[in-house]
């Protein structure tokens, strides 16, 4: 038989990883098929932990199914885009119209589209470290290079504007902000956002502000939309139904453009061209947007002092405080915590080895911190979605594994 060469994948994929759904998750699936019950804390997926999408959103989809069979406009249905405009206006962003709103199959698709429309080969994007790894992957897939600004636990996982400024080169095109942050739960102050905005405006960088967790803040923390601060350069704000409205499977996200749009007209047109090539995003889920944004905001109860998300977050904080090995910068937002392991007590600790051992021995799946492009191998991410009882049990198992490494 003739020996033919193997089918080779795109070489760009050598620089791409998404370990949240990678080898560890595959091993967890294998263990489940063997009959083991796995506690999966690697993904922020509210529906798996008993959170329901508001009923009004489900009804809005059902009532409009008959109008969901044809393709819609490449940017999305008008009622949904107009609802996003109204939300932005209520937040003080007055220069967005429905023409500058694009709806996609989740924010994930729009991250890819907006970077693909922007980047030429070897152009650079400033990305936080740790980051949500889809940002790094999308930069690489679209021929760009991620340059990381560090968000370290010693500084509460807040970025340093001076470091950001020092990383800018003639090839830098954009900066990514994730606020509230995934994976750390950090929420950025107005002073910090203004400093970063000033840098972006000075160097005419596109600001990509990932605000998918915008209403998930705790205690005195306050989310400030970046679009209310950026004026003299282009700002792209990303949001969606997945997290705040517990509708991950609907696959509805959006990006709205504000700020200096006139100089960015060709770029926004390029985004529309790419949106047209994929025809449109999922139509049924779009009918839930107007109801979601204009209706009762149940997320406020969940993150309030008596809410379930608040209680689960507190359970993680308490468990880390009681641990002999774990340190935690308390998350002010989102649905994650990013504990660090004290390497003075556990020298040579490796987050990937720990995550695998925790999975094999205790059947708990977490995401190693290094999978978020974080250079220190002593952190891991957990979602704060489970109940307090589950979190208490899980951190007991974590402590047992760490005891075995001591």
Token pair recorded at residue 116: 């693909």
Picking from 350, 364, 353, 352, the residue whose alpha carbon sits closest to that of residue 398 is: 364
Q: Band of the pLDDT at 23, cuts 50, 70, 90?
A: confident
Q: Range(s) for CATH 3.90.1150.10 in the chain? A: 12-51+301-405
Stretch 394-401: mean pLDDT, rounded? Answer: 97
Residues of the chain with CATH 3.40.640.10: 55-294
Q: Is the pLDDT of residue 301 over 80?
A: yes
Q: Is residue 20 predicted with pLDDT exceeding 70?
A: no
**Cβ atoms of residues 253 and 240 within 8 Å:** yes
With 90 as the cut, is the pLDDT of residue 14 above it? Answer: no
pLDDT at 87: 97
> Residue range 153-166: average pLDDT?
98
Compute the average pLDDT of residues 110-133: 97
Please answer whether residues 384 and 316 qualify as being in contact, where contact means their C-beta atoms are separated by less than 8 angstroms: yes
Please tell me the distance from the alpha carbon of residue 134 to that of residue 141, in angstroms, as a whole number.
Answer: 10
**CATH code reported for the domain at 55-294:** 3.40.640.10
In tens, the pLDDT along 320-334 reads 999 999 999 999 999
Cis status of the peptide bond prior to 130, with omega within 30 of 0: yes
Place of tokens 């003639």: 170
Which positions ≥6 away from 154 have C-beta within 8 Å? none
Spatial separation of the C-alpha atoms in residues 97 and 256, rounded to whole Å = 9
If you average pLDDT over residues 347-353, what whole number do you get? 94
- Would you list the DSSP string of 87-112? HHHHTT--S--GGGEEEESHHHHHHH
Looking at residue 217, the DSSP 8-state letter turns out to be B
pLDDT at residue 194 in the model? 98
Task: Say which DSSP state 7 is in.
Answer: P
Here the tokens at position 334 are 């989102």
Q: Is the pLDDT of residue 19 over 70?
A: no
Q: What is the pLDDT of residues 172-221, one digit of tens each?
A: 999 999 999 999 999 999 999 999 999 999 999 999 999 999 999 999 99
Domain 12-51+301-405 matching CATH 3.90.1150.10: the answer reads yes
Question: What is the chain's mean pLDDT, rounded?
Answer: 96
The answer, yes or no, to whether residue 66 has pLDDT greater than 70, is: yes
Per residue in 241-272, pLDDT (tens digit) is: 999 999 999 999 999 999 999 999 999 999 99
Q: What is the pLDDT of residue 4?
A: 84
Q: Compute the CA torsion angle 276, 244, 259, 114 (nearest 10 deg).
A: -30
Q: What's the number of CA atoms in the CB half-sphere (13 Å) around residue 165?
A: 10
Output the pLDDT for position 262: 95
Measured CA to CA in angstroms, residue 106 lies from 239, 312, 330 at distances of: 9, 26, 28
Q: Do residues 290 and 245 lie in contact, with contact meaning Cβ atoms separated by under 8 Å?
A: no
Query: What is the phi/psi pair of residue 172, to 5°?
Result: -75, 130
pLDDT at 71 > cutoff 70:
yes
Q: Name the strand (E) or helix (H) holding 272.
A: helix 265-277
């Amino acid at each position: 038989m003739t020996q033919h060469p193997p089918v080779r994948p795109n070489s760009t994929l050598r620089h791409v990883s998404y370990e949240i759904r990678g080898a560890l998750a595959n091993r967890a699936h294998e263990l489940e098929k063997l009959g083991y019950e796995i506690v999966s804390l690697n993904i922020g997926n509210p529906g798996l932990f008993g959170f329901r999408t508001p009923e009004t959103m489900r009804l809005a989809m059902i009532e409009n199914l008959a109008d969901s069979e044809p393709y819609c406009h490449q940017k999305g249905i008008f009622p949904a885009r107009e609802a996003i405009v109204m939300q932005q206006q209520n937040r003080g962003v007055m220069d967005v119209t429905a023409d500058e709103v694009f709806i996609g199959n989740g924010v994930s698709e729009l991250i890819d589209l907006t970077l693909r429309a922007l980047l030429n080969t070897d152009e650079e994007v400033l990305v936080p470290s740790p980051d949500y790894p889809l940002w790094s992957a999308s930069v690489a897939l679209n021929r760009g290079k991620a340059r990381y600004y560090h968000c370290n636990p010693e500084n509460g996982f807040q970025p340093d504007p001076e470091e950001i400024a020092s990383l800018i080169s003639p090839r830098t095109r954009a900066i990514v902000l994730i606020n509230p942050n995934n994976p750390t739960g950090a929420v950025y102050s107005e002073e910090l956002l203004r400093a970063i905005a000033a840098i972006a405006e000075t160097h005419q960088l596109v600001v990509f502000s990932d605000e998918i967790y915008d209403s998930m803040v705790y205690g005195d923390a306050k989310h400030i939309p970046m679009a209310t601060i950026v004026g003299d350069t282009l700002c792209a704000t990303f949001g969606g139904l997945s997290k705040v409205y517990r509708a991950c499977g609907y696959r509805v996200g959006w990006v709205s453009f504000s700020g200096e749009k006139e100089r960015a007209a060709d770029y926004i047109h390029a985004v529309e061209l790419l949106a047209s090539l994929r025809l449109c995003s999922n139509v049924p889920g779009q009918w839930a947007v107007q109801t979601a944004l204009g209706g009762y905001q149940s997320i406020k109860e969940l993150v309030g002092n008596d809410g379930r998300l608040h209680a689960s977050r507190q359970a993680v904080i308490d468990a880390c405080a009681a641990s002999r090995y774990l340190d935690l910068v308390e998350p002010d937002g989102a649905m994650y915590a990013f504990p660090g392991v004290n390497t003075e007590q556990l020298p040579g600790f490796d987050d990937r080895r720990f995550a695998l051992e925790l999975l094999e021995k205790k059947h708990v799946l977490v995401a190693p911190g290094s999978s978020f492009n974080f250079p220190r191998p002593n952190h891991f991410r957990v979602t704060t979605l489970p109940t307090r009882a589950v979190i208490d049990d899980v951190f007991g198992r974590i402590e047992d594994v760490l005891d075995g490494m001591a």
